[in-house]
Structure 1
Amino acid sequence: MAGPVRRRKKPSLAEVARIAGVSISTVSKVANGGVDVSDATRERVERILAERGYVATRKRRGSLIPVELITRDMYNPLTLDVLRGIIDAAASTGLDISVSRYPDNAPDHRWIDEIHAAGRRGVIALTSILDDDERARFRSHGLEVVAIDPLNRPDESTTSVGATNWAGGLQATEHLLGLGHTKIAMLTGFPEAMASRARVSGFRAAMGTAGIELDESMVLDGDFTYDSGLELGTELLRRSDRPTAVFAASDLPALGVIEAARRRGLRVPEDLSVVGFDDLIMAQVSAPPLTTVRQPLDQMGAVAVQMIAALIADGPPDHALHTELATRLVVRGSTAPPAA
């Protein structure tokens, strides 16, 4: 008597993309009849899909996969940069993106039920804090989740995308050290945020490698706002032993420090060097233009779209994927060697 017939496991989009040497979104477009793919690429991907027995989940003609983007701050420039990458990628991946604000006071997690009731298939959570109850509620509704730049460390079930924050903190500090600064202060941003801790760790590593004993009073906790940078910058610059350089864990507080220096009659960069993190649009047009560590924010949004499309198509993998995209230092006019 013949044994049970074993069904061939459907290959994942990520596996096909790796074999074909293309992105997940390109495989998704080919599998679901999308356009904007060259004939040669389409033929190669279709051949690999056929060889591995891939059968696409059929959608109604003209329909898109509904996905919710939740964010804490709609008006933050960082949100807008990430959203640009999400929208551009979604247009070619077959996703319909809706945007909502993450509710701060929702202990019963009813907002997750509402997302499911609205017919969403997945959620992209930007700078969120997802707790165990929320993750369990997502799973109970069959909602796939991708976190972008999460404030808390993702667990093994949560796919996420972020940036190389530790390396960025190291780069920023090494730049100031290379200019000759030794009295460097740091504004950490949210001390509980995972990105903040990584940037501070990179800062400490660079100072330690340079053999400089860190003055802990020069490491100040705040948040990622302009007002925080203005307040803490004013505090630092009032000191008799004020720093010659400040590294802020985000661009907005860095710009606040520049304003604090202006109010104290100090020139940037002649009297004070300032470095930020993010490379938001205002960093390029500030006076002076801000030296900063660039996060590939739009690329982070695009990668999140590819991830959520793959999760919806293939289901959750055995182990969640955590991706970090490279940062790089952009030197502009806000840094110079310390005054004699």
Structure 2
Amino acid sequence: MVKLIDVARAANVAVSTASRALNNPSRVNPKTRSRVETVAAHLGYSTNMAARSLRMGSSRMAMVIMPPWRESSMLNDVLRGIDEELSKHGYTMIVGQLNEAGLPDPRVLEMARGGMIDGAIAVANDPPRSGGLPILAAERPIVGLMIDLSEHGVPSVISNDRRAVHDVVGRLLANGRQRFMFVSGPPNYHDSERYGGFTEALAKAGGKAGAREVLRFDGDYTFEAGWNAGGAFLDAQERPDAVVCSSDDIAIGFMKRVQRAGVRLPQEACVVGFDGIAVGAFVEPAISTIQQHLVRMGAASARLLLRALADPDADLPMRTIVKTTYVERESTIAALGGPAKPAAPPKARSAASRASKAS
């Protein structure tokens, strides 16, 4: 078995330097770290994680506690941002997940209490309606991501959900949209913030030009929820001309349902999604969306956790807001400019003109 001392000798460094290069790379200059890593890989050296944890009093592992969502490409970007940031500092990411009732697997809590993880990042996990967060009982640093847990004393990284939806509704109002529909996700933090921005913008308009909410549909963040919301839209006595969806998946399902029934988008109703998933640019029409910068948010949460691990007494911000970006595409752009005009037919050229061109 290759030992750390073998790696140190082959790399011509002290054993302590080899250890830092492999276990705490941020404390070693890049050139030395690269040499040690190359030698370790060539010799087939593998760190004994259990021994290292006992020796250092640290597992160098952080747990990411995920919500019970089955299919969500946006969470892949979140995990990538967390993992890239943690790995720069010699940390490994492991993932735990809540069950359908929103409760953590008992093994997650045992790992935290038993010292198998140094800290945790809770992603989009709503806190219990009463009492504290179970993970806090483990007395490990924790950061909230895509959920505001600051009232529990947990530093949190969030988007400006409320303001973002408020501003988009304002754009639609300014361009003549009057009858609004909101399609929500499940009753949680995001639904509260996004719907809050929606209603505040309409209230601010004060019924100007007859603008009002005519329909709300409650579902979850799925294509099926959007499909069902499309059915409610089609059945409405007064159909909305602007639809704000709490996720891009909802928007895609909604558009497919109403287009199949012959509704022209965006001429009869413009549609806005939320999240900025890649596929939104490739459906027809491409979805206007409020894009969350998910990799950046994941990295920001990891940096907060690393600061807490480096200094338990660090004064961390309770809320870190990563602003969204509104991406305008075809699902609203034609509507904002009025009904699309058919292309003018090419003008017939005279015989004299054709003869002149031929000469």
Normalised to the residue count of structure 2, the TM-score between the two structures is: 0.72
* Residue 200 of structure 1, aligned match among 195, 202, 209: 195
Equivalent residue for 1:171, pick from 164, 167, 170: 167
Aligned equivalents of 2:330, 2:94: Cα separation in 1: 39
Listed one character per residue, the Cα deviations across residues 263-301 of structure 1 (whole Å, up to 9, x for unaligned) are 211121122210011101111211111001111111110
2:280 paired with 1:289: no
| Residue 43 of structure 2 corresponds to residue 77 of structure 1 | no
Contact 2:142–2:155 (8 Å) recurs in 1: yes
SS in 2 for 1:218: strand
Give the alignment partner of residue 97 of structure 1, picking from 65, 73, 93: 93
TM-superposed deviation, 1:244: 1.1
Q: Kindly tell me: are residues 74 and 218 of structure 1, through their superposed partners in 2, closer, same or farther at Cα, counting changes over 3 Å?
A: closer
User: Is structure 2 residue 41 aligned with structure 1 residue 33?
Assistant: no
Q: In the superposition, relative to structure 1, how do residues 80 and 253 fare at CA in structure 2: closer, same or farther (>3 Å)?
A: same
Shift of residue 243, structure 1, vs aligned partner: 0.8
Evaluate the alpha carbon distance shift between residue 330 and residue 259 of structure 1 in structure 2; reply closer, same or farther with a 3 A threshold.
same
SS of 1:99's partner is strand
Q: Work out the CA distance in 2 between the residues paired with 1:110 and 1:133.
A: 20
Contact 2:164 2:197 in 1 (8 A): yes
Structure 1, unaligned stretches of length 5 or more?
1-28, 37-57
Q: Alpha carbons of 1:156 and 1:35: their partners in 2 closer, same or farther (altered >3 Å)?
A: farther
**CA distance, structure 1, for counterparts of residue 105 and residue 283 of structure 2:** 43
- Which residue of structure 1 aligns with residue 138 of structure 2? 141
Q: Where in structure 2 are there 5+ consecutive unaligned residues? A: 1-23, 32-52, 341-359
Q: Which amino acid aligns with 1:194?
A: Y
TM-score (norm 1): 0.75
Greater RCO between the two (CA within 8 Å, min separation 6)?
Answer: 1
Distance of 1:31 and 1:80 partners within structure 2: 25
DSSP 3-state at the match of 1:334: helix
Q: 1:269 aligns with which of 266, 270, 273?
A: 266
Counterparts in 2 of 1:133 and 1:144: CA distance versus 1, 3 Å? farther
Q: What is the root-mean-square deviation of aligned Cα atoms in Å?
A: 3.0
Q: Percent identity at matched positions?
A: 25
Q: Please name the residue that 1:65 is paired with.
A: 60
2:124 paired with 1:127: yes
- Shift, 1:71, TM fit: 0.8
The SS at the match of 2:157 is strand
Change (3 A) 1:107 1:124: closer
* Counterpart in the other structure of 2:216: 219
Aligned length: 288
**What is residue 158 of structure 2 aligned with on the other side?**
162
Say if 2:179 and 2:214, in contact at 8 Å, map to a contact too.
no
Larger radius of gyration: 2
